[in-house]
Chain A
Amino acid sequence: MPKVTEKVSQAAYNALVNIVGAQWVTDDAAITESYVKGGEIHDCIYQRGQQPPGVVVMPKDTAEVQKVVKVCFRYHLPYTPIGAFWGVHCGGKVPFHVSIDLSRMRGLEWDERHMAAIVEPGLIHSPLQAEAQERGLYTMTPGGGSQAAVIGNMLTCNYSPLNYRLGLATRRILGVEWVLPDGEVIRLGSLSNSDDPFWGEGPGPDLRGLLRGYLGWWGKVGIITKMAIKMHPLFLPERMKPVERGMLSTLEFPDNRIKWYNFRMPSEDSMRKAMREISRSEIGAAVMRVPTIWRYRGKSTSREDFWEKWGPDEKKIRDSRATSSILRVLIIGYTSAKQLEYEEGVLMQIMDEVGGELGRTKQSDQSWIKNADSAGMWWPAGGYVSVEFVVETLEHSFARGKTLLKEKEAKFTPPLVDEYGEEGWIQMTDMGHTSYFEFLIQWDPENPLGKYKSGEYKAWEHWVASQRTAIDNGQYTANIGSLSVMGLTGPAFGPNYGVIYDQVRQAVDPKDISNPPLDLHDRVINEFAPKWKEDYNFQTWTDLMHGGKEHWKVLTSRGYEWKDCLPEWYWDRDDKEIG
């Protein structure tokens, strides 16, 4: 198949060089080739056919970003902003696009007294947390891991068990500097009146609503060049020390201010009661039910070691799941060591009442201070995606878990990894008002038994099917911001949120140049999986939505077919069973 990359016009290229200097622009294919997400992992789910950019440009500051965006606006060049490139949506979908790689913009300033970090888009969580600790502050590292960009993550997910106390990220976003798709720079919150970004909302209606969504725009409404982030006062008199190295490296907890507890709960009902009672008693820093597979993963020294243990334990795990599950609680003495003592006392009292049995656990940063899971998700099988990661209420979490498990076991296991009846990750958020639920699936993308990619197709279908079950059961779902399934969710949620979502985007980005989508999903489904349209009642959103159409016209005018935009492997696969 032809390779769909092409230079932008020489005039536009020269303009970019004039802005950032020749050193910071390239159209060399040896480099642009790697500006797609690797491994056909997340991307197979979210967007078929990411395309390498025609040009990569690396501005150093807001002024350069603004000029680059203005060039893109003038020449009608689609662009894709990139922070750390952790999330798959960083990859451009439109051929010939410009990758605006913001990695040089790694700035980090502090207002310690008012607990704010002012960060640039290339900054990731790890140095933020390291410097925060030096200043008596902390934040949480999200599930995306320490290598996820702070701004990119704040705009989309930013979930962690610590959200039990810290709430949703949306309120942690303070003053923001934002380059709109036409190159105009706007400033949100207190930045609208001064150079101090300490406050995020207003004036008047809160434009942070446009900034962050559930789950956001993925770079479709411009580029954030600066954001102040609310931090939290560190509860420790001294720093947490790194111990061990390599796979086991972690931060050691001092024993009097932060402590993990693992309880074996006799039933799901006792789990519920315990979670409710903990939040009613206003104790705890994190409260969660962790899938068994992550405990096995945590104890393994390699993938092979993991499978050696996990594989034969099916019966043991299924049996124990029927009678018990593990509740994990983190307690922090925010005010003093005595708070930890007090909360521990209350926790034990609750567990006595509901029959929780205390087990062993390591007292170190197993996750969420600096040690979040990051790439480890891909480790057990090579392919991974979170089919669901939704914030709703506790009963919703239990219900969504049961719905997804039922479907996964009935239709998609194998090729998905069998988790022996696991109903997903559940944690309390917002001090128990809400709950976070995550359902992770794993598969082997290189299944050597033939059927190349078949695991991946099933993962994709499971993901599509999961939107259908959400709609059928009135369940909320994290994936409704994804344009790939707009044909399912667009009319159903809101209802008809897809229409105004698209209109707002059109208003902010009239030329449709900021990380534009391509309506590839519909075309892929039409061609390969027409049955899905019937099975899942898929509507085509190509007719509903503005997004992507313009670029489609450009592509066809240059003689490209939609099939040209698919990745090479798509054509090489042996498996034609889909649809």
Chain B
Amino acid sequence: MIVSGSLELKDYMYEMRRCMRCASCKWLDHIYMPDNRFVYRCPSYAKYYFSKVAYGRLKLGLALCEDRLTDTPGMRDMVFQCLMCGACDSGCKRNLDLEVTNSLEALRGHMVEGGRFPQAHQKMIDDIAGSKNRYGAPAADRAKWAPVNAAAKSDTVYFVGCGASYQDQAIAKATDKILGALGGYMLMPGEQCCGHPLFALGHYDAFQKQMEVNMAAMQKTGAKRLVTACAECYKTWKVDYPRLRKISTSDLPFEVVHISELAAQGVKDGSLVLKNKLDLKVAWHDPCNLGRMSEPYRHWEGGRGKWGCLEPANKFGAKEFNRGTAGVYDQPRDLLAAIPGVQVLELKRHHEFSWCCGGHGGVPEAYPDLAAYAVDERLEEVKAVGAEAVVSGCPYCKGQFQAGMAGRDHQVQAFDITELIAQAL
């Protein structure tokens, strides 16, 4: 029996056996590969080489499942020197439709179960358990950023997330302004970390606890819509929560939207007017968790039949694959283009093969060299296309860009998309 989204490594034996090491998980889409400079989609491979990429990790997973390997000195690094950015998955889905990201998630879980994970991750896990945020900051400080337009009750909940609450409050303030212009919102009473880091690190039991708390809190608000300005929160609410509950995104009792979706709709229907001119050449950085990782989750159960075909169990239809192409891609681009004076440039690696900023998967905590490398690579791209600013839709991406700028000769500005929209209002 195949249950989509399973977190058990043994459920991905087909994937691990049938990966034929074509390396689509490593190289950029061949049609879009721009030159010999920006050729990889996987930051882990580009930094460390060897087989530190999905095909290598799948083969490792197979060896673990078949009890051919137990532990090696390099095994932890092999598994965790990975940003869990999902770029590999969209590469594989161009040809083989193997569930690569799910396999890697299950591999992490398998390692965590055996206690084999980087010690550097422990602090974040403890902080979320203790302070309910990833920084270990006082829980009471969460709403210190002083919302202006929040109401006590609304159909729309703005889920602020740890990043905008504690680290980059400009994003929270800008979102507050935009949501104010769009008809108001409420905050989630007693908001806690969505648990995204726990999921990305492979600590699924702890994640499950966070989910239960947050889902209950959301349901208690009675709101019909949850808005985030954080790609990680967005993916968590939209994909991981329903996935763990074995339901589809569409079965959630509320809608999950990213602020860029909402704002783009507002510009389209005239409820949001971007009037202030901003002379700026910007490059839009597709955050992994807003793009390829955040396609709606569609729960599916079935089995594998002749020729490896997936055969649905009762009540399920044919499996629909998430191939990374149906993430939130157009809305942020449309929004930026709608700001007077803004010229939007496309980076070399974009949409489902966007290059990760390096801020994900527990990498900044455990492997800062990889995090630094990934963002530096991205800033090289920003430079190569001639942009003056890089814009994202996730506080962690922006944080990465700001950190990555240190020591670089070529400086550009880094913004969250909410900041530019708020400026233009």
Contacts and interface: CB of A to CB of B under 8 A. Distances in A.
Query: Are chains A and B touching in the complex at the 8 Å CB cutoff?
Result: yes
Interface of A: 3, 24, 26, 28-31, 33-42, 56, 58, 84-86, 101, 103-104, 106, 108, 123-128, 130-131, 134, 141, 145-147, 242, 245-247, 249-251, 302-305, 307, 365, 370-371, 374-376, 378-382, 417, 444-449, 568
B306 interface: yes
B24 A370 contact: no
Contacts of A40: 17
A448 B59 contact: no
Nearest to B14: A446
Interface in B7-55: 14, 17-24, 27-36, 39, 49-52, 55
Contact size range, B:
35 or more
B58 interface: yes
Interface string B87-128: 000100111110000000000000000000000000000000
Nearest to B326: A246
B74 A26 contact: yes
Contacts of A28: 72-75, 78
Name the prevailing secondary structure of the B interface residues: loop
A251 B33 CA distance: 12
Contact of B69 (A30, A379, A380): A30
A42 B20 contact: yes
Task: Enumerate the 4 nearest inter-chain pairs by beta-carbon distance, A residue then B residue, closest first.
Answer: A146-B30, A28-B74, A375-B22, A34-B59
Interface of B: 14, 17-24, 27-36, 39, 49-52, 55-60, 63, 66, 68-69, 72-75, 78-79, 90, 93-97, 304-310, 318-319, 321, 323-325, 351-352
Contact of B307 (A36, A37, A104, A382): A382
Contact of B78 (A31, A39, A106): A31
Given A36-B59, A41-B20, A307 B307 contact: yes
Given A36-B59, A126-B30, A375 B307 contact: no
Nearest to A40: B17
Contacts of A448: 304-306
Nearest to A310: B307
B75 to A, nearest CB: 4
Given A246-B324, A303-B308, A381-B307, A84 B72 contact: no
A141 B30 CA distance: 11
Contacts of B31: 242, 249-251, 365, 370-371
Contacts of B39: 106, 124, 126-127
Given A30-B78, A249-B29, A39 B19 contact: yes
Contact of A58 (B30, B49, B94, B304): B49
A147 B27 contact: yes
B93 A376 contact: no
Contact of A302 (B69, B90, B304, B321): B321
Contacts of B21: 34, 37-39, 85
Given A28-B73, A134-B35, A84 B307 contact: no
A446 B60 contact: no
B56 A381 contact: no
Nearest to B31: A249
Contact of A444 (B29, B90, B308): B308
Give the most central of A24, A127, A146, A445: most B CB within 10 Å: A127
A242 B31 CA distance: 6
Nearest to B69: A29
Contacts of A249: 29, 31-32, 94
Contacts of B51: 31, 34-35
A122 to B, nearest CB: 10
B110 to A, nearest CB: 13
B306 A245 contact: no
A29 B59 CA distance: 11
B238 to A, nearest CB: 20
A303 B35 contact: no
Given A106-B39, A246-B352, A303 B20 contact: no
A191 B33 CA distance: 31
Contacts of B18: 38-39, 378, 382, 445-446
Contacts of B90: 246
B109 to A, nearest CB: 17
Given A85-B21, A130-B34, 7 more contacts: A29-B72, A38-B21, A39-B19, A249-B31, A370-B30, A375-B96, A446-B18
Nearest to B92: A375
B35 A131 contact: yes
